[in-house]
Amino acid sequence: MAVPASAHGLNKATIGVGCGTGDQAGQICVHLTGDIERGNAERFVFVDVFAPNDLKTSLGEVVFDLPAFNSNSSDCTDNHCDKTKCFAAITNSTATSFVVQIIKVTSDAAGKNSADLTIHPSQGSDIVFGNEEQQPATVGTPDKCVAPAPPPAQTSPSASASAATTTSTTLAGTGGFDFRYPLVGLTVLVAGLALLLVSASRGRSSTK
pLDDT for position 107: 95
Q: Report the alpha-carbon distance of residue 43 to residue 15 in Å, rounded.
A: 16
**Do 134 and 178 belong to one domain?**
no
pLDDT for position 162: 57
pLDDT for position 155: 73
CA distances, 152 to each of 22, 149, 155, 162 (Å)? 18, 9, 9, 21
pLDDT for position 154: 78
Domain boundary (101, 124, 140) is at: 140
pLDDT digits (tens, 9 = 90+) for 36-78: 999 899 999 999 999 999 999 999 999 999 999 999 888 999 9
CA distances, 191 to each of 65, 142, 155 (Å)? 92, 83, 45
CA distances, 64 to each of 16, 41, 48, 111, 133 (Å)? 13, 14, 11, 11, 20
Q: Report the alpha-carbon distance of residue 72 to residue 9 in Å, rounded.
A: 16
Residue 53 lies in a domain: yes
CATH number of the domain to which 80 belongs? 2.60.40
pTM score > 0.85 for this model?
no
- The domain total for the chain is 2
**Do 95 and 194 belong to one domain?**
no
Residue 117 CB burial class (10 angstroms; 0-12, 13-18, ≥19)? buried
Residue 158 lies in a domain: no
Q: Which residue numbers in the chain have pLDDT < 50?
A: 1-5, 171
DSSP string, 30-81: EEEEEEEPTTPPPEEEEEEEEBTTBSSS-SEEEEEEEPPTT--BTTEETTEE
Cβ burial 119-157 (10 Å sphere, 16+ → b, else e): bbbeeeeebbbbeeebebbebbebeebeeeeeeeeeeee
Residue 2 lies in a domain: no
**Do 68 and 170 belong to one domain?**
no
pLDDT for position 166: 56
**Do 81 and 117 belong to one domain?**
yes
Q: Do residues 17 and 100 make contact, with C-beta atoms less than 8 angstroms apart?
A: yes
Q: Which of 96, 89, 99, 100 is nearest to 64 (CA)?
A: 100
Residue 133 lies in a domain: yes
Residue 198 lies in a domain: yes
pLDDT for position 203: 60
Angle at 151 between CA 22 and CA 166, to 5 degrees: 145
**Do 49 and 121 belong to one domain?**
yes
Q: Do residues 126 and 8 make contact, with C-beta atoms less than 8 angstroms apart?
A: no
Q: Which of 1, 16, 20 is nearest to 127 (CA)?
A: 1
**Do 84 and 177 belong to one domain?**
no
Amino acid identity of residue 177, one-letter, is F
